[in-house]
């Protein structure tokens, strides 16, 4: 299939191109477009056969449900039912924006969109291109991140082209996205609202509106995939992992730098190519041929925005071994560490541990 690629300026949208994208979606086709979090791969959420095509293009397991994207608050009542007051409170506080709510599924949403579940994930994005495309389609849009299943989510159209060129009808290139990690998911179908996936809307922001909120134990746990079944089915799959072997090194900054440098020397002696992922403030401490500055510790948003692009660059460099510093795990840092730990398969070394004698 020939994939049409259009560049769209979000401040001066070419409505002819947007309407063409809307028409493809209305006919059951696939269109990738930017959202404020990551690029999404859209299909008509109300047409079971259209949303099934997403699974084929991504190579995604079909029990992994899709998020339904809407562009007006009233649409929430059309795709969900028995909506609790908490959903309206969150919508007023954070929509349009990077928050997904799990609600009871409306009758008209096909089970093939929700992976067979009787709940539905609903999100109203704020990105002007995403909103315009949903509106032009005249329907609601099921959209997972527009990457091949297992790869880092796309934060630039180039990433989408890498994974989806030739497999989908259209890609709208709206430049680099702002946030860079996927939306926060909160489940509102239980007694207490539960965060299933951390994101830009943090725990504190949610408790500020709702009071009590709990967090799915699976989020930062090493045993997420085995012992606790995560409530968001997608959280159980291996995700984001670069092809090289990624290890996170945590501890006091001096010890982390010493340990990573020692590990780099060791890997080089074994003829392995190595890369280091570090904060801007400490990137200069590493003696390694590939050192990637991921962003500033003083600005967690910069780390979130660059994380997936840096993980993809590791694959382009074909490095064998990757060492990454650890980042704060509160606020937005929780979302960053959730993605980084998954990418590393929860392989973490503590550099303050004295027992290191030069061999891991
Ligand atoms: O920021 C985002 O949310 C992006 C953009 C494109 O909007 N979308 C995204 O979709 O990240 P995806 O498919 O990559 O991740 C959706 C996650 C998966 O882990 C899935 O299992 C979970 O949401 N999910 C969807 N419906 C659910 C439901 N009814 N109950 C529990 N989890 C659900
Ligand atoms: Mg995804």
| Interval 202-258: pLDDT, tens | 999 999 999 999 999 888 676 545 556 678 877 766 688 899 999 999 999 999 999
Q: Is 304 in the pocket of ligand 1 (CB under 6 A)?
A: no
Q: Is the pLDDT of residue 68 over 50?
A: yes
Instruction: Place 328 in a pLDDT band, splitting at 50, 70 and 90.
Output: confident
**pLDDT value at residue 360:** 45
| Interval 8-49: pLDDT, tens | 999 999 999 999 999 999 999 999 999 999 999 999 999 999
Q: Is the pLDDT of residue 326 over 80?
A: yes
Ligand nearest to the CA of 234: 1
Q: Is 66 in the pocket of ligand 1 (CB under 6 A)?
A: yes
E strand spans, 163-231: 170-173, 184-187, 194-197, 214-215
Residues 6+ away with beta carbon under 8 Å from 84: 103, 188
Distance CA(156)–CA(182), nearest Å, equals 13
Instruction: Place 354 in a pLDDT band, splitting at 50, 70 and 90.
Output: confident
**pLDDT value at residue 222:** 64
| Interval 134-167: pLDDT, tens | 999 999 999 999 999 999 999 999 999 999 999 9
Q: How far is the CA of 144 from the centre of ligand 1 (A)?
A: 6
Strand order in the sheet with 348-350: 290-293, 274-278, 321-325, 245-250, 348-350
**pLDDT value at residue 62:** 84
**pLDDT value at residue 285:** 97
Closest atom of ligand 1 to 40 CA is 6
Question: Is residue 37 part of an annotated ligand binding site?
Answer: yes
Q: Are the beta carbons of 120 and 68 closer than 8 angstroms?
A: yes
Residues around ion ligand 2, judged by CB within 5 A, are: 145
**pLDDT value at residue 63:** 86
Mutation choice for ligand 1 from 144, 178, 219, 225, CB with most ligand atoms inside 8 A: 144
Q: Is the pLDDT of residue 336 over 70?
A: yes
Q: Is 15 helix (H, G, I), strand (E, B) or coil?
A: helix
Query: Residue with the nearest Cα to atom 15 of ligand 1?
Result: 144
Name the one residue in this structure whose structure tokens are 């497999």. Answer: 167
| Interval 258-304: pLDDT, tens | 999 999 999 999 999 999 999 999 999 999 999 999 999 999 999 99
Q: Is the pLDDT of residue 96 over 70?
A: yes
Axis-axis angle for helices 85-94, 203-210 (nearest 10): 130
Q: Is 32 in the pocket of ligand 1 (CB under 6 A)?
A: no
| Interval 183-215: pLDDT, tens | 999 999 999 999 999 999 999 999 999 999 999
Q: Is 35 in the pocket of ligand 1 (CB under 6 A)?
A: yes
Closest atom of ligand 1 to 153 CA is 14
Q: Is 51 in the pocket of ligand 1 (CB under 6 A)?
A: no
Q: How many C-alpha atoms does 201 have within 13 Å on its Cβ side?
A: 29
**pLDDT value at residue 219:** 82
Q: How many C-alpha atoms does 195 have within 13 Å on its Cβ side?
A: 26
Mean predicted lDDT score pLDDT of the chain = 94
**pLDDT value at residue 186:** 98
pTM for the full model?
Answer: 0.95
Mutation choice for ligand 1 from 40, 121, 179, 180, CB with most ligand atoms inside 8 A: 121
Axis-axis angle for helices 157-164, 300-317 (nearest 10): 40
Closest atom of ligand 1 to 123 CA is 7
Query: Residue with the nearest Cα to atom 13 of ligand 1?
Result: 144
**pLDDT value at residue 16:** 98
Q: How far is the CA of 144 from the centre of ligand 2 (A)?
A: 5
């Amino acid at each position: 299939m020939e994939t049409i690629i259009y560049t769209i300026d979000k401040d001066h949208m070419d409505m002819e191109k947007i309407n063409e994208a809307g028409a493809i979606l209305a006919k059951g086709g696939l269109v990738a477009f930017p959202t404020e979090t990551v690029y999404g791969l859209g299909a008509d959420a109300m047409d079971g056969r259209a949303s099934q095509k997403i699974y084929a293009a991504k190579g995604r397991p079909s029990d992994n449900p899709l998020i339904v994207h809407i562009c007006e608050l009233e649409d929430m009542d059309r795709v969900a039912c028995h909506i609790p007051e908490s959903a309206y409170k969150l919508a007023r506080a954070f929509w349009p924006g990077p928050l997904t709510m799990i609600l009871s599924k409306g009758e008209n949403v096909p089970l093939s969109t929700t992976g067979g579940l009787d709940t539905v994930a609903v999100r109203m994005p704020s990105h002007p291109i995403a909103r315009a495309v949903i509106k032009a389609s005249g329907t609601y849009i099921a959209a997972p991140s527009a990457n091949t299943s297992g790869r880092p989510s796309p934060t630039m159209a180039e990433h989408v082209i890498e994974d989806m060129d030739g497999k989908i009808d259209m890609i709208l290139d709206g430049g680099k996205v702002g946030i860079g990690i996927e939306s926060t998911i909160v489940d509102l179908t239980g007694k207490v609202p539960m965060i299933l996936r951390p994101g830009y809307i943090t725990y504190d922001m949610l408790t500020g509106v709702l009071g009590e909120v709990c967090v799915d134990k699976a989020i930062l746990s090493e045993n997420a995939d085995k012992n606790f079944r995560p409530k968001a089915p997608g959280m159980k799959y291996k995700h984001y992992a670069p092809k090289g072997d990624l290890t996170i090194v945590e501890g006091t900054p001096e010890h982390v730098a010493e340990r990573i440098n020692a590990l780099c020397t060791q890997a080089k002696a074994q003829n392995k190519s190595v890369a280091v992922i570090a904060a801007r403030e400490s990137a200069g401490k590493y003696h390694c041929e590939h050192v990637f500055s991921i962003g500033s510790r003083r600005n967690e948003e910069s780390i979130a925005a660059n994380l997936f692009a840096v993980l993809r660059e590791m694959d382009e460099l074909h490095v064998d071994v990757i060492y990454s510093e650890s980042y704060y795990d509160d606020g937005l840092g929780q979302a960053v560490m959730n993605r980084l730990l998954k990418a590393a398969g929860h392989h973490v070394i503590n550099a303050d541990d004295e027992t290191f004698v030069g061999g891991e």
